[in-house]
Amino acid sequence: MRGEERPRALPLLLSYDNRSGNIADMPIGVSEAAERLEVSRQRVLRMIADERLPAERVGKSWAINEADIARRRVPIGRPLSMDMARGFLDLAAGIRPELSARDISRLRVNMARLVREVRSDGDPAGLLRSWLPHRALRREMSVAEGDLPEVFADDRFVISGISDKRAGMSSPRMGEGYVEEQVARKFLEDHFVVEADDRARANLIVHVADVVPPISPVVIAADLADYRAGREDRQAQAVLEDWIDSGSYDEKLLFGRGRP
What does the pLDDT look like over 153-177, one tens digit per residue?
Answer: 999 999 999 999 999 998 889 999 9
CB 213 within 8 A of CB 90: yes
Nearest in space to 139 (alpha carbons), one of 228, 187, 199: 199
In this model, does residue 69 exceed pLDDT 80? no
The pLDDT score that the predictor gives to residue 96 is: 96
Per-residue confidence band for 14, with pLDDT thresholds at 50, 70 and 90: very low
Supply the pLDDT for residue 41. Answer: 83
pLDDT at 20: 38
Asked whether residue 23 falls in the same domain as residue 125, the answer is no
pLDDT at 47: 81
Query: Which among 72, 105, 139 is the end of a domain?
Result: 72
For the residues 198-224, what does the mean pLDDT come to? 95
**Is residue 260, in this structure, part of any structural domain at all?**
no
Residue 9 lies in a domain: no
pLDDT at 22: 39
Is residue 79 within 8 A of residue 127, CB to CB? The reply is: no
User: d(Cα 112, Cα 132) in Å, to the nearest integer?
Assistant: 16
Residue type, position 184, single letter: A
The confidence band for 7, taking pLDDT boundaries of 50, 70 and 90, is very low
Q: Do the strands 204-209 and 137-142 form a parallel or antiparallel pair, or are they unpaired?
A: antiparallel
Handedness of CA 170, 174, 180, 186 (dihedral sign): positive
Q: Domain for residue 3, yes or no?
A: no
Find the angle CA(243)-CA(229)-CA(170) to the nearest 5 degrees. 55
pLDDT band, very low/low/confident/very high, at 70 (cuts 50, 70, 90)? low
Does residue 157 share a domain with residue 60? no
SS3 252: helix
Domain that holds residue 30: 16-72
Task: Check whether residue 28 and residue 117 sit in a common domain.
Answer: no
3-class state of residue 107 by DSSP: helix
| Averaged pLDDT for residues 19-48 | 72
Domain count, the chain: 2
| Same domain as 148, residue 90 | yes
What percent of the chain is predicted at pLDDT more than 70? 87
Residue 7 lies in a domain: no
Residues 91 and 28 in one domain: no
> What Å distances lie between residue 118 and 113, 221, 260, CA to CA?
9, 11, 11
Q: Are residues 40 and 125 in the same domain?
A: no
Same domain, 50 and 138: no
Rounded distance between C-alpha atoms, residue 139 and residue 202, angstroms: 9
- Spatial contact of 151 and 206, defined as CB atoms under 8 Å apart: no
The per-residue pLDDT for 156 is: 98
pTM of the model: 0.74
Both 130 and 190 in a single domain? yes
Q: Do 58 and 112 belong to one domain?
A: no
> Taking 70 as the threshold, does the pLDDT of residue 74 lie above it?
no
DSSP per-residue string spanning 151-177: HHH-TT-EE-GGGSGGGT--BTTBEEE
Helices (H), the chain: 30-37, 41-49, 66-72, 82-92, 101-119, 124-131, 148-153, 181-190, 217-225, 230-246, 251-255
Same domain, 167 and 225: yes
Per-residue pLDDT tens for 43-57?
788 888 877 788 988
User: Are 159 and 33 in the same domain?
Assistant: no
- Rounded CA gap, 86 and 81, in Å? 8
pLDDT over 70 at 88, yes or no? yes
What Å distances lie between residue 147 and 18, 97, 141, 161, 190, CA to CA?
67, 36, 13, 19, 11
Q: Output the domain CATH number for residue 37.
A: 1.10.1660
* Strand ranges (E), 1-42: 16-17, 22-23
Three-state DSSP class for residue 179:
strand
Can you give the pLDDT at residue 230? 81
3-class DSSP state of 226: coil
Strand boundaries in 72-203, DSSP class E: 137-142, 158-159, 175-180, 194-195
pLDDT exceeds 80 at position 8 = no
> Residue 80's pLDDT is what?
96
Looking at residue 147, what is its pLDDT? 96
Is pLDDT larger for residue 6 or for residue 145? 145
pLDDT of residue 78: 87
18 has pLDDT over 50: no
Query: Do 101 and 65 fall into the same domain?
Result: no
Q: Average pLDDT of the chain?
A: 86
- Would you say residue 39 has pLDDT above 80? no
